[in-house]
Amino acid sequence: MKLDDNYWVLIKKAHKVKFDLNLIHKLDKKKEQDKKKVLNAIYIAIHNKEILDGGLVLYKKTPLVRLVLNQLLKYYIHAFDKNSHESLLEL
């Protein structure tokens, strides 16, 4: 599978996840707020066409960016979809 395809498959999986920050709970309220901030930033990024197009350019050029984007998107998917573990193993 080409890098373009891998990128868009991961973005589509992230789009399918139901975004609800009320599902995020931690005993430490500071950690909870930090996690919500990160997840909200990822949500904004995956719904912005210009960021996605720029991300694809970097994704194709730089292995380190590819690794980081893969991890961020998997983190986002797993945060809202607790049944996602099996589907994330495929990526």
Tell me the C-alpha distance between 83 and 81, whole Å.
5
Contact 11, 68 (CB under 8 A): no
Question: 83 vs 73, which has greater pLDDT?
Answer: 73
Tell me the C-alpha distance between 50 and 78, whole Å.
24
> Does residue 23 surpass a pLDDT of 90?
no
How many domains does one find in the chain?
1
Tell me which residue range forms the domain holding 8: 3-89
Residue 71 is predicted with a pLDDT of: 94
> Does residue 43 surpass a pLDDT of 60?
yes
DSSP 36: H
